[in-house]
A and B are shown apart, each in its own frame.
Chain A
Amino acid sequence: MSRFPIFCLVIFFLNISLQAKSEVIKITYWPSSNPQEIELAANIVDKWNKIHPDIQVVMQPLPSGQSSEEVLLTAVAAKTTPDVCSNIWPGIVEEFAEANAIIALNKFNDFYDIVNPRIPEDVLMNFASNDGHYYQMPWKGNPIMMEYNVRLFREAGIVEPPSTYKKFMEAADKLTRDTDGDGLVDQWAGVINVNPVWWHRFFDFYAMYIAASGGRTLFKEGEVDFDNEYAVGVFRFLQKGFKKGYFPKGMLQGNQFLLENIAIQFAGPWDIGFLKIHAPPDFEYDYAPLPVPEGTEEPILTYSDPKNIVIFSTTKHPEEAWEFVKFLISKENDLKLLEFTSQIPFRKDLDTDPVYEEYFKENPMVLKFAKQIPYTRGSDNITQLKEVFDVIAQSFEYSVIYGMQEPKIAIEEAAETCRRILRR
């Protein structure tokens, strides 16, 4: 009988303790599944969890699949989405927004207080959805630039990286060679992926189209807008490269840039990390803006290859998830993003802010990309974007790689097909 009050007390305290434990909010966060980004996410989450004992973030790398988009689509269909995901390709955002799968971030009171000082205005506008809302937080970009082998350039007598189509062709003529004298070309000026898969065209045709047109995207006010001189010019330029044999027509095995069989490729800052690990110490390389038609005004723009952050509408804790998103894009975490991944945060004055000064002093290659980031464009926010790029990929293959169609006709036909897709 005398033990009963003690038993009640134990139950009471146990209950309180369990209640306290259940008040801890859990946020699930999916970063990209590449090793560098997992390491970055683990570091950021660890710090967040230490300062927010009441909001604990559980980090789980994006489950592997054919592509992040397929995995996310399946998760949306099965309603197994995380609270926050930071590996969102903007091309899929419109589809998610139409399905009410993601939250409009500009509905949070401090959205503009956060984004306006951080993100260049025209970069931000690029990520607005058709209904005027912002469903994605612009996070990082990988501006596509021209990567070139300094030694091969020097040996070919090329003093500076070619800035125009004409100069590129002159350089390509010197760089494409039969080095062992067996009568066969074994060193090419550049490489273009010949696989007709839609997303490859972001890194050649689309990046070059943005550069040539001074920042145009494929659509204007929801209408197809790429049947113009700039798109035709890019097709013609690359077609000439294939016809002259400056780009190999087949798939070459292995990293031909690293093997020094290719002098130029279009790449993002991710290659810096790769080359740091795999290139021999005497491997000399550098970056320059993409080549453009003669007379194009500076600065030269490019495709940003962005990856952004969203909050899924399955979240039970939108406010807390929003707080975590703000933490993810803080100044100090943007520095970590640079340090861990060499990828560039969408941040104004990245190259002049003292927080990043030391990092860029030690990593001058990455600074070139940081300087490029204000001069980038993403992709259009339309649900049929993959189909549009598939059409372009088919035309590209037919006209550019195999030279079987005049570029102007190829572009006009591709644009007309895209209009039909949009009308469907």
Chain B
Amino acid sequence: MKRLNGYDVDRVGYLMVLPYIVFFLLFNAYPIIFSFILVFHKWNIISPMKFLGLENFRFLLQDPLFWKSIRNTLVFLVIHIPLQLIVALVIANILNQKIAARGFFRASFFLPVVISGVVITILWQQFYSYETGLFNTILMKIGLDKIPWLISTKLAMPSIAVMATWKNVGLYIVLFLAGLQSIPSSLYEAADVDGATGVQKFFHITIPMLNPTIIMVLIISTLGGFSLFIEPYVMTGGGPINSTLSCVLYIYKQAFYFNHMGYAATLGFAVAFIIMIVVIIQRKLFETEVYE
């Protein structure tokens, strides 16, 4: 038994981690185990659970709305992630230069990140409004036709992706700024000596050196994208015609609209599995480039 200043080191160590262990057991382990049990049951919260075996999985495989919600979420990710990466990278590069009011701009871009998602969503819902929204009013003032931003099945999800980019880009700008500032200036000085142009420096020094940050941003925004909920819930309710029904919104509807707790838990595990696959693919694709 190790002792330090008369204390039993092991016991003190265990005591130190006890709060986290209790927290983990109560709020992580228990819900996960309970959800896993639910996967095999039918339960509406107020009646006793009924064992279904693998019935929930069978239903999931034949559920067109589940697959639609996966497809919608992937559409969101395909638009949102590249857009967010490019915008964040470009703005971070600009803010990394010695420009006037740099502190003000850095704070301004970060502001939407700390504002409530619901507030921003309601604000953008008004911007996008077909009849009276700001965007369509501007379009009409300059003689163009109104655009059905949120009421077209083709445009609703891209519109949400643009809004989500505006809301989250500040966070990624900060991450890229930190990455940019950690690139040694000697690399740029050497490139200058060799006569490299700004574009060449960006693609041959900045981008490769930022690769770890890019991977982190990719993974964080993929996870964030899969948990898309507030925006479609507030803006469109999943419509029009389920075109903005995200995985999480569908899980929420099954659990809290219809009280299908067992099926909602099954959906949750299925989505977690899909996220795991996507993240593994991302890491395989991009990590090789970093370390090779």
How many CB-defined contacts (below 8 Å) exist between A and B? 75
Given known A96-B46, A98-B47, A101-B46, contact A249–B258 (CB-CB < 8 A): no
In the assembled complex, which residues on chain B have CB atoms less than 8 Å from the CB atom of A77? Answer: 45-46
In the assembled complex, which residues on chain A have CB atoms less than 8 Å from the CB atom of B47? Answer: 98-99
Given known A77-B46, A253-B126, contact A198–B240 (CB-CB < 8 A): no
Q: B237–A197 contact, CB under 8 A? A: yes
User: Which segment of A203-211, A264-272, A393-401 sits at the interface?
Assistant: A393-401
Q: A397–B241 contact, CB under 8 A? A: yes
- Main SS of the interface on chain B? loop
Q: A248–B131 contact, CB under 8 A? A: yes
Q: A252–B129 contact, CB under 8 A? A: yes
Residue ranges of A at the interface with B (Cβ–Cβ < 8 Å) = 66, 70, 73-74, 76-77, 95-96, 98-99, 101, 184, 194-198, 248-253, 384, 386-387, 390, 394, 397-398, 401-402, 404, 424
Q: Quick one: closest A residue to B55, CB to CB?
A: A424
Q: B257–A249 contact, CB under 8 A? A: no
Residue ranges of B at the interface with A (Cβ–Cβ < 8 Å) = 44-47, 59, 125-126, 129-133, 140, 148, 150-151, 153, 236-242, 253, 256-259
| CA–CA, A401 and B240, complex, Å | 9
Q: A397–B59 contact, CB under 8 A? A: no
Choice from B46, B131, B256 contacting A70 with Cβ under 8 Å: B256
In the assembled complex, which residues on chain B have CB atoms less than 8 Å from the CB atom of A384? Answer: 258
Q: A99–B46 contact, CB under 8 A? A: yes
Given known A98-B47, A390-B257, contact A397–B240 (CB-CB < 8 A): yes
In the assembled complex, which residues on chain B have CB atoms less than 8 Å from the CB atom of A73? Answer: 45-46, 259
Choice from B45, B132, B257 contacting A252 with Cβ under 8 Å: B132
Choice from B59, B131, B241, B258 contacting A404 with Cβ under 8 Å: B241
Q: Quick one: closest A residue to B64, CB to CB?
A: A417
| CA–CA, A196 and B245, complex, Å | 11
Q: How far is the CB of A89 from chain B (nearest CB, A)?
A: 14
In the assembled complex, which residues on chain A have CB atoms less than 8 Å from the CB atom of B140? Answer: 184
Given known A73-B45, A253-B129, contact A394–B257 (CB-CB < 8 A): no
Q: B259–A398 contact, CB under 8 A? A: no
Interchain residue pairs with CB less than 8 A apart (13): A73-B46, A76-B45, A95-B46, A99-B46, A195-B239, A196-B238, A249-B151, A252-B132, A253-B129, A384-B258, A397-B240, A402-B151, A404-B241
| CA–CA, A249 and B140, complex, Å | 17
Q: B125–A251 contact, CB under 8 A? A: yes
Q: How far is the CB of B124 from chain A (nearest CB, A)?
A: 13
In the assembled complex, which residues on chain B have CB atoms less than 8 Å from the CB atom of A194? Answer: 151, 239
| CA–CA, A74 and B150, complex, Å | 33
In the assembled complex, which residues on chain B have CB atoms less than 8 Å from the CB atom of A96? Answer: 46
Q: B151–A196 contact, CB under 8 A? A: no
Choice from B45, B131, B153, B239 contacting A250 with Cβ under 8 Å: B131
In the assembled complex, which residues on chain A have CB atoms less than 8 Å from the CB atom of B133? Answer: 250
Q: Quick one: closest B residue to A404, CB to CB?
A: B241
Q: How far is the CB of A138 from chain B (nearest CB, A)?
A: 23
In the assembled complex, which residues on chain A have CB atoms less than 8 Å from the CB atom of B132? Answer: 250, 252-253
| CA–CA, A386 and B148, complex, Å | 29
Q: A198–B257 contact, CB under 8 A? A: yes
In the assembled complex, which residues on chain A have CB atoms less than 8 Å from the CB atom of B129? Answer: 250-253
In the assembled complex, which residues on chain A have CB atoms less than 8 Å from the CB atom of B125? Answer: 251
Q: A250–B242 contact, CB under 8 A? A: no
| CA–CA, A386 and B257, complex, Å | 7
Q: How far is the CB of B247 from chain A (nearest CB, A)?
A: 17
